[in-house]
Amino acid sequence: MDDARDLETPERTGEGTGRHPVARAPHEIAAEVPRGFSPRAILDAVRRRRRVFLIALAAVLAIGLALLAIQPARYTATAEVVLDTSDGVLAPRAATQRTTEERAGREIRLVRSREMAVAVATALKLDAGFLADDPRLLARIGRMFGSGPAPLDAAGQMRAIVDRLTGPLAVNRLEGTYSLTIGYTAGDPRTAARVANEYAVQYSSGRLAGATAAASPFDRPYARIISRAEPPLAPSSPRPLPVMALALLAGLLAGTAAALVVERRFSGITGGHEIEKLLGLPHLGNVPLLSTVLPAATSPLEAMVTEQMSAYAEAFRGVMMAVRQAGGRGTQAIAITSALPNEGKTTVAACLARSIALAGESVVLVDCDARRRDTSAIFGMAGRRPGLVEVLRYEATLDEALVRDTATGAWLLPLTGPMAEVSDLLSGPRMVELIEDLKRRFKRVLIDTAPILAISTTRALATMVDVVVMVVRWRATPDHAVVTALRMLPDDHVRIAGIVLAQVDMNRQVKFGHGDPAFYYKQYSQYYS
């Protein structure tokens, strides 16, 4: 085994010079993870939650289409009459603008009066059939189920017809003129034109008859029809373009709001920029999900040997370089841990050991996860003795317990022995002595620990090493769990090198991870082929 005394110096490696993010103590980690929504964050949230965004958008557009479908077509026909002022009867020279507006207002009220509506209804011989054209939703639902209002007597029917006539009637004065427009809206375009024209006829003839008997020499207005209403070719409502434009705008707002709500509830970590911004820790690198970069590969450990020029192997070389930069001079003993189980820390530790060995450095990987012992298992050494426990008990020498990885030259110290005794041994002074012994014999000492939140022994082991590397599963581990775990580490003698994002789906990260190196994976992925 190689001697590890020829350690790098800052002059040789560039470490410890202040040019890179450095390891931090647990008390420097924020107690709470701050989150906000900048314009860039909103766009990123919509991109990440595009399915939620599209569902909300589609739902609002569907509502808009449904409203268009259930709204009956309504047609508006308009007639125009003009008040003849050739003799100055409506607006003599002495008349002011205010007087003109007051008289025009009286004319409009006359057209909208119930008396005028009665005259129109009588002239058109409107009956109960006219009342069937009720655009209100409840009335249409009642007709669908065969129910409707109770039969009316003659007087009640006339009142209902008058109400129906005056409701959709629109009378307006054209600004700057003595013309009045009389518009009527109905479900049938011919009915709309008939009613509008009859109003114009009744107003022009009735107003003239009423004026000749009682008008003064200066108050003899008289109206004539200048434009008759024609059955409209297109409905005036509903108007599909404005309705759908409004629905689109509402859908965009609803989709964005839904995406932000879901994103707010999401507490996973997507990229390195979030690690550095939210947690204030160095981002040591991304470890890809093996299937997204090497679809044919079946084992991460094998890929480290058979695919040494792949993006997967390069990821671990990058992680080790970042650890050196963050830890500075003397970064020799490295604890690799996680907040929760199933984060991928054992795979990271094992592959990192092989990567270091393939780079020509002496390295030993120590299995200190007393519960799972996955490191020993993936190297096929589960149950092998002697191992770490026997060394700690002085029942075996270190040379007897160490096992060499024939594929790369890395060394492994497996964990065996009864579980009940392991925790005390791992947190005792003998473990400190063992780590110092390993540091004298190897250039790198990697320690695979149990999750921080699950096993208290990890907190003790963290004080025995040079730096701690936290493995976080991409978009799965809650950020508050990471913060809680890191703050549980004792402040004395604990330095956190940073965080490694594991099991990163590179195909999805190019869509989610704006600001993260993996965001550009498609641009540089061909470099590995």
Range from 83-92, 302-311, 326-335 that averages highest in pLDDT: 302-311
Both 208 and 294 in a single domain? no
* Shared domain check, 365 and 230: no
Residue 511: CATH number of its domain: 3.40.50.300
Residue 233 has pLDDT above 60, yes or no: yes
Q: What is the pLDDT of residue 105?
A: 80
Mean pLDDT of 428-447: 96
Residue 218: pLDDT above 50? no
Residue 58 falls inside a structural domain:
no
Ranked by mean pLDDT, the top range of 30-34, 143-147, 215-219, 397-401 is: 397-401
Confidence class for position 266, pLDDT limits 50, 70, 90 = confident
| Residue 282: Cβ within 10 Å count | 23
DSSP state of 514: T
Verify that 102 and 210 share a domain, yes or no: yes
**What pLDDT is attached to residue 149?**
56
**pLDDT tens per residue across span 442-461:** 999 999 999 999 999 999 99
Compute the average pLDDT of residues 458-484: 93
230/339 same-domain check: no
Q: Please, which pLDDT band fits residue 214 given cuts at 50, 70 and 90?
A: very low
Q: What is the pLDDT of residue 493?
A: 77
Q: Is residue 144 part of a domain?
A: yes
Q: Identify whether residues 332 and 215 lie together within a single domain.
A: no
In a domain, 258, yes or no: no
Out of 237, 257, 280, a domain closes at 237
pLDDT of residue 264: 77
Q: According to the model, what pLDDT value does residue 7 have?
A: 34
pTM for this one?
0.65
Residue 366 has pLDDT above 90, yes or no: yes
- Grade residue 3 by pLDDT with cuts at 50, 70 and 90: very low
Can you give the pLDDT at residue 153? Answer: 74
Do 95 and 170 lie in a common domain?
yes
3 within domain boundaries: no
49 secondary structure, DSSP code: T
Is the pLDDT confidence value at 15 over 70?
A: no
Burial of 311: CB neighbours in 10 Å, binned 0-12, 13-18, 19+: buried
Q: Are residues 230 and 152 both part of a single domain? A: yes
Give the model confidence (pLDDT) of 76-108 as tens digits. 999 999 876 554 444 444 445 555 677 778 888
Whether residue 470 is predicted with pLDDT greater than 90 in this model: the reply is: yes
Q: Which of the 8 DSSP states describes residue 277?
A: I
On whether both 23 and 79 belong to a single domain, the answer is: no
The contacts of residue 48 (CB under 8 Å, 6+ apart) are 259, 263, 270, 511, 512
d(C-alpha 230, C-alpha 510), whole Å? 60
Question: Using H for helix, E for strand and C for coil, what is the string for 365-392?
Answer: EEEECCCCCHHHHHCCCCCCCCCHHHHH
Compute the distance between CA of residue 372 and CA of residue 300 in angstroms, rounded to an integer: 19
Q: How far apart are CA 408 and CA 404, in angstroms?
A: 9
* Mean pLDDT taken over the chain: 82
Any domain includes 52: no
Q: Measured between alpha carbons, how far is 242 from 31 in angstroms, rounded to an integer?
A: 50
Phi-psi region of 432 (alpha: psi -120 to 50; beta: other; left: phi over 0): alpha
Of the candidates 350, 422, 426, 415, which has an alpha carbon nearest to the alpha carbon of residue 384?
Answer: 415
Q: Which of 376, 443, 380, 372 is nearest to 413 (CA)?
A: 376
Q: Is 494 left (phi over 0), alpha (psi -120 to 50) or beta?
A: beta
Indicate whether 188 and 285 sit together in one domain.
no
Domain that holds residue 86: 72-237
Q: Which of 237, 252, 287 represents a domain boundary (last residue)?
A: 237
Number of domains the chain is built from: 2
| Strand 496-504 versus strand 283-288 pairing type | parallel
* Highest mean pLDDT, choosing among 28-32, 141-145, 155-159, 187-191: 187-191
Can you give the pLDDT at residue 16?
39
Please check the confidence at residue 496 and state whether its pLDDT lies above 70: yes
Longest dimension (CA), the chain: 131
Is the per-residue pLDDT at 293 higher than 80? yes
Q: What pLDDT was estimated at residue 100?
A: 63
Q: Phi/psi of residue 366, each to 5°? A: -105, 125
In a domain, 2, yes or no: no
Examine residue 459 and state whether it is found in any structural domain, yes or no. Answer: yes
Q: Are 360 and 492 in contact (CB under 8 A)?
A: no
CA–CA distance, 199 with 189 (Å, rounded to integer): 16
User: Do both 295 and 385 map to the same domain?
Assistant: yes
Q: How many CB atoms lie within 10 A of CB 189?
A: 21
pLDDT of residue 499: 96
Cα 423 from Cα 388, distance rounded (Å): 12
Same domain, 344 and 222: no
d(CA 288, CA 502): 6
Report how far Cα 505 is from the mean position of its chain's Cα atoms: 18
- CATH assignment at residue 183: 3.30.1890
Distances, alpha carbon 487 to alpha carbons 369, 453, 463, 482, in Å: 20, 10, 13, 9
Are residue 110 and residue 204 in the same domain, yes or no? yes
Mean pLDDT of 414-429: 82
Whether 184 and 198 have beta carbons less than 8 Å apart is answered as no
- Find out whether 305 and 354 touch, Cβ atoms under 8 Å: yes
At 275-291, the pLDDT tens digits run 888 888 999 999 999 99
- Segment 187-211 shows an average pLDDT of 80
Look at residues 295, 313, 243, 319 and name the one whose alpha carbon lies nearest to residue 498. 319
Asked if 331 contacts 428 with a C-beta cutoff of 8 angstroms, the reply is: no
Please indicate, yes or no, if residue 517 is contained in any of the structural domains: yes
> pLDDT tens across 383-417, in order?
777 999 999 999 999 999 999 999 999 999 999 76
